[in-house]
């Protein structure tokens, strides 16, 4: 009997006949429709990713959806500086742009005087939902370890762990032969990620 993947891994990539690299090339040429299709493709993914990553006090100053949309449009405005080889690389690039935007918003929020409301002052000391889930130290170790992976490993980890891509979609996004090849890439990347994080755990 043929090995069958879990349902989420059978999910096809959006618009499989129109690759992200092709859309990016059209955006560089000034194609507004291609730009809209890229926004439609990645905006929901980035919204889900960003949910819970802003602490309460920062969320009160900037709506997360607006922040995500601005970050995505900013990335597309500078698409000439990015050489897209595959969807995974572009997604990793978008993640970094958005992560920088979130960090900037948190810094800006921290510099503003707290409103004289007890609940707001308590909220300003609490970590984001994401930090609560994984722990701030673990999150910092993860980000540092992620930077030490190869580009392909980093993209595979980001797509699988952070964006919930199935293996079939990862294979398509990275130009791998099939889901099993993508699964092996993810597995090896996770082993390497764990090895890179180990010194932080011991510390």
Looking at 77-81, 100-104, 110-114, which range is the least confident one?
110-114
First to last CA, the chain: 47
Q: What is the pTM of this model?
A: 0.71
- Do residue 170 and residue 126 come from a single domain? no
In a domain, 1, yes or no: no
In a domain, 83, yes or no: yes
In a domain, 7, yes or no: no
Give the C-alpha separation, 28 to 57, whole Å.
37
Query: pLDDT tier at 135 (50, 70, 90 boundaries)?
Result: low
Q: Is 6 exposed, middle or buried (0-12, 13-18, 19+ CB in 10 A)?
A: exposed
- Do residue 140 and residue 103 come from a single domain? no
Average pLDDT over residues 90-97: 89
Check whether 113 has a pLDDT greater than 90: no
Q: What is the pLDDT of residue 179?
A: 94
HSE (CB half, 13 Å, CA atoms) of 124?
16
In a domain, 5, yes or no: no
- Do residue 102 and residue 67 come from a single domain? yes
CATH number at residue 145: 1.10.10.10
- Do residue 124 and residue 158 come from a single domain? no
Domain total for the chain?
2
Q: What one-character DSSP code corresponds to residue 10?
A: G
Neighbour tally for 74: CB within 10 Å? 14
In a domain, 6, yes or no: no
Average pLDDT over residues 186-202: 86
């Amino acid at each position: 009997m043929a090995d069958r993947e879990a349902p989420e891994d059978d999910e096809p990539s959006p618009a499989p006949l129109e690759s992200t690299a092709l859309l990016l090339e059209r955006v560089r040429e000034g194609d507004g429709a291609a730009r809209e299709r890229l926004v439609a493709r990645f905006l929901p993914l980035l919204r889900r990713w960003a949910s819970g990553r802003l602490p309460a006090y920062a969320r009160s100053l900037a709506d997360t959806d607006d922040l995500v949309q601005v970050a995505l449009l900013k990335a597309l405005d500078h698409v000439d500086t990015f050489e897209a080889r595959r969807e995974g690389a572009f997604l990793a690039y978008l993640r970094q742009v958005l992560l920088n935007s979130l960090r900037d918003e948190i810094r800006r929020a921290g510099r503003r005087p707290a409103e004289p409301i007890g609940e707001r002052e308590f909220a300003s000391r609490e970590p984001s939902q994401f930090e609560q889930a994984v722990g701030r130290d673990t999150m910092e170790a993860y980000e540092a370890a992620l930077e030490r992976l190869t580009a392909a490993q980093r993209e595979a980890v980001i797509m699988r762990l952070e964006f919930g891509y199935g293996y079939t979609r990862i294979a398509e996004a990275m130009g791998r032969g099939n889901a099993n090849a993508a699964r092996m890439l993810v597995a090896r990347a996770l082993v390497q990620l764990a090895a890179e994080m180990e010194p932080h755990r011991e510390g």
